[in-house]
Chain A
Amino acid sequence: MSASDNMIPAPAVRSKPLIIRHLPYFIGAAVLVALAAGMQFDGYILNILLQATTFSIAVFGLSVVLGLCGQINLAQAAFFGFGAYAVGLGTADLHLNFWLCLVGGCAITLVAGAVLGMSTLRLGGHYLAMVTISFQQIVTLVMINAIWLTHGPDGVANIRRPELFQSSQSYLAFCVAMLAIVGYLVWHLPDTKLGRAMRAVRDNELAAGVNGIDVFRTKVSAFGLCALLGGLAGGLFAGGFAYVSPDQFSFAESIQFLTMSLLGGVASPIGSVIGTGLLILIPEWLRFLKSVPGLYLAIYGLSVILIIRFMPDGIWGFVSDAFTRMRAHSKAPPVAGALQLKPATSGGDVVLEVTGLSKHFGGLKAVDGVDIAVKRGSVHALIGPNGSGKTTTLNVLSGLYKATSGKIVLDGTDITNMAPHQRTAAGLGRTFQNIRLFRSMTALENVEIGAERPGNTMIGKGDDALTERAMEALTFVGLGSRANELISSFSYGHQRLIEIARALASNPTLLLLDEPAAGLNSTEKLELHELLKRIAAQGLTILIIDHDMTLVSEAAQHITVLNFGRRIADGESMAVLRHPDVVSAYLGSE
């Protein structure tokens, strides 16, 4: 922190290696493991601790898929069961080595989770919820009915533990160690590239795709990871209790995992442990509830409704929110150098060449045979009255819509059939008319996601280089000093600037700006104009859509005019604006 404390303009401080920064965590974990191994618990306490430990690992999975990535999984008990049956059947029936079964179980759940995810994750969350319920039901059906494999309702007994951890006490210590390791990884995940991608997908799928994130793969990874953690937890659980039966992996158990996750706080592994601990202990204290079948599950159901209503971030979310709010202002962002834009070039004169581009919605020809050629290093404007097809054109260019026909070539690469994230990797950057930022993140984190674009040659290796690049971009738009604030604390105009910074950080070859002046006041418009000049001065090619004729005529050298989906004029700015067709399109003809 010394450099920023002295306010000497210098590159961001190199941070200490993670392992040293997180030393207190590992010391704490080691103490817990030693306690688990050394303290003499009676059998009842031991069982509760063992259950809490293994369940927590399964609930970590939910904090990844639901908390980080915003996707629902109502079959965690099924994945838990996969791991448990792998260890159970493997060690009891096939007499295989415990470790082999545990790893095998994890592999099976990972594959099952990924396959299930791949079949559904392209679609919305409702499908996923129902499909995971269905999957859960079918797994239960198989566990009960495929007696030749699973022993049916009788379950699997005599499950063995590894040689090393034969006593319950040592096995508990082993499970606590696993909990600490997995917990560390899950805790650290949000700050990794994959974790940031997951959060971006949760906050805004469209924007995530346009910033170079493969949305589908990110979701499948989150889902697979969740299943994997479920499988691992199940394997450990089976070893701990030596007996498993289908009712331990029913839909009700999946709901229990969900409740644990929600109660503690879905966004953090600490919340998972709190929620799991509470929901294992509370029913033990209130044992009388279990004498009436259904009563305690009914209470779970009610708690789910109440938690969602009154405490959406769970217990830990509530606590940590207050904590971050206190801390957010005290932490000064590092001071950054000047932003360098070095748009990639294949040497051609034209950066973007669009030929015969059409987009039809049923019978409506929103864009109809449009040609656009954007020259390297120029500011090119696309204008037209409302409903002329400007934004549709931009959406086809960035891949949110599939072109009905036509061809799009970006700097020599045909991107017509690419997914949004691939176009971004190929060098496209864009902003949205209705701002699409990742709302649960800070300005800096938003811009970091932009900087992380695959193929960005302007960042070095490691998190420090990433932060540095993002800080440069934020400073470039004038918001460097507020980098660590949450998006919600910025004004509309500033949010627009953050979106531009996010695109700039990725060092695009072509920047698409969708009505950047919309909703800005006159001062902000002037600032925007200045910003555009500074961007253009670094040689970045810009394609801009806007209604503001002053901005367009002053900023752009070249204008293409659309009306009713067709190109009605194209050429040097002043000439185009005087073109009779353009005048009549805007003002009506006599």
Chain B
Amino acid sequence: MDLVLQLLFTGIGIGAVYALVALGFVLIFRATNVVNFAQGEFSMVAAYLMVVCVELGLPYWLSFVIALAGMALLGVIFNLGVYYPLRHRTYLPVIIATIGASILLSNSVLAIYGPQPQVLQGWFDTPGIQLGPVYLDSQYLLIIGVTILLVLFNFWFFEKTLLGKKLQATSQDKEMASLLGISVSTMIMITFIYSAVLGGLAGILVAPVLFVSIQMGSTIALKAFAATIIGGFGDVAGAIVGGLALGVIETFGAAYISVPYKDGFAFLVLIAFLVFRPQGIFGERVAEKA
């Protein structure tokens, strides 16, 4: 029982990271109808930026701010360089371009930084606290806390602010939004910045738990995408629930079934959902209008 609780805690912690990246996927998908396959690379780049800043001797909080600012800049460049020129084409070229961007980002970092995984210190000096039978790692607590805050922020931002409503309007009907005087390209730019920052945040938070490596981006992205399908594609709540569920499933799978195949469980769950419930937990079936 103690082990189960412990695994549950760890699973939710890691699942929260998937949820954050999945949220980034969903936001971009809703704004542009395109899945950004470089979403995971945002996490990876942010983690490396963080490592670089900390190694330079900057304080942790300053490194954090610089890394997130860097991600915002990356979001801008990504939009202008990858999405924007292709915005009038079908989704397939855009997907391929984002895959190209993902390869470019991860291998540029590899070329600059080398294949050696890096270690990033956690935010807190205390490694964690013992609560009854369960040991609560401080970094996981931080991840869970930040995720809760961000979910609340998201809700407030998209439902209560004018900017959030403009973004929603853009994602639902670009033509109508532009007729109402909303600048669609600005809204899409904001979406890219926001989701790059979200992805970066996830990367920085998870970095002390995993190693900072070139592969961390694609691993996280794969699972975050599986999370969006499990939750219901394009659904914000679904992305979060899906992410948490996947983290828990994976942690238990690794503990009770097989460690080397840990990364395979996400795929199996994904396939199961695709076959039996492709619309996910919350989603509705989408059909093209004739």
Q: Which residues of A contact B (CB under 8 A)?
A: 70, 72, 74, 119-120, 122-127, 129-131, 133-135, 137-138, 141, 145, 205-206, 251-252, 255, 258, 262, 292-295, 297-298, 300-305, 308-309, 312, 391, 395, 398, 400-401, 432
Contact = CB atoms under 8 A, between A and B. Distances in A.
Given A127-B229, A305-B101, A262 B96 contact: yes
The residue among B82, B99, B287 with the most chain A CB atoms within 10 A of its own CB is: B99
Contacts of B106: 294
Nearest to B223: A134
Given A255-B103, A308-B86, A395-B290, 14 more contacts: A72-B95, A72-B96, A124-B91, A130-B270, A134-B226, A141-B264, A205-B288, A293-B110, A293-B115, A298-B110, A304-B96, A304-B100, A305-B81, A309-B86
B100 A131 contact: no
A391 B96 CA distance: 35
Contacts of B34: 126
Nearest to B267: A134
8 contacts: A129-B95, A130-B225, A131-B274, A137-B264, A258-B99, A302-B100, A304-B100, A395-B290
A457 B3 CA distance: 69
A308 B34 CA distance: 15
B95 A122 contact: no
Contacts of B114: 293
Main secondary structure of the interface of B (DSSP, over half): helix
Contact of A141 (B95, B100, B263): B263
A293 B274 contact: no
B49 interface: no
B108 A294 contact: yes
Contacts of A145: 260-261
Interface in B88-103: 89, 91-93, 95-97, 99-103
B271 interface: yes
A251 B96 CA distance: 14
Nearest to A289: B111
Contacts of B225: 130
A304 B37 CA distance: 13
A129 B35 contact: yes
A205 B96 CA distance: 20
A297 to B, nearest CB: 4
Contacts of B111: 292-295, 298
A138 B290 CA distance: 38
A301 B91 contact: no
A123 B274 contact: yes
B104 A301 contact: yes
A304 B93 CA distance: 10
A293 B86 CA distance: 30
Contact of B99 (A70, A119, A129, A303): A129
A391 B101 contact: no
B218 interface: yes
A398 B290 CA distance: 10
Contacts of B85: 309
B35 A301 contact: no
Given A126-B35, A294-B109, A309-B85, A391 B290 contact: yes
A331 to B, nearest CB: 29
B107 interface: yes
B104 A302 contact: yes
Contact of B107 (A123, A262, A295, A309): A295
A126 B101 CA distance: 16
Given A141-B264, A295-B111, A298-B111, A123 B278 contact: yes
B271 A119 contact: yes
Nearest to B115: A293
B86 A141 contact: no
Contact of B37 (A129, A292, A302, A432): A129
Contacts of B37: 129-130
B267 A294 contact: no
Given A70-B92, A131-B270, A298-B111, A304 B290 contact: no
B52 to A, nearest CB: 17
Nearest to B101: A305
B33 to A, nearest CB: 9
Contacts of B101: 301, 305
Interface string B102-135: 1111111111001100000000000000000000
Contacts of A304: 96-97, 99-100, 103-104
A206 B110 CA distance: 44
Given A129-B37, A206-B290, A391-B290, A298 B274 contact: no
Contacts of B93: 308, 312
Contact of B274 (A127, A137, A305, A395): A127
A386 to B, nearest CB: 15
B222 to A, nearest CB: 6
Contact of B100 (A122, A129, A292, A301): A301
